[in-house]
Amino acid sequence: MADSIYQKLKWQLILRLAHRLPSCQALTPLFSESLERPLTFREKILIKLHFFTCEACRRYTAQIEKMGEMVKPQNPESVETLSKVKLSDNARERIKAALESAKKPY
């Protein structure tokens, strides 16, 4: 039972600490910057402490990194085949005409 009181106190302390540290919203820019530049020692500690109590921000950081992998076309063909974006008939004719006149007669 003494154990559980100790545990409770421990969590009280951790939560109190977490409360005094920057919020998730305040730290999200830093999570993004961690993918852009080396963080300072202070920033690293701040993030470590926050991650300790915040699963959501651990996920957030892992997911914005994963997103970078996801958006790279695995297969360049895929963008092409599924794309609903196509040249209009007008543009098609215009560009063809421009290419025809640019073509040098051999």
Count the residues in the chain: 106
Identify the H or E element spanning 13. helix 2-20
Where do contacts with another protein occur on this chain (CB under 8 A)?
Answer: 19, 23-26, 28-29, 32-33, 35-37, 54, 56-57, 59-60, 63-64, 66-68, 70-76, 78-88, 91-92, 94-96, 98-100, 102-103
Are the C-beta atoms of residues 10 and 45 closer than 8 Å to each other? no
How far apart are CB 1 and another protein at their closest, in Å? 29
Nearer to another protein, 3 or 29 (CB): 29
Collapsing DSSP states into helix, strand and coil, what is residue 89? helix
Q: How far is CA 22 from the centre of its chain?
A: 20
How far apart are CB 40 and another protein at their closest, in Å? 14
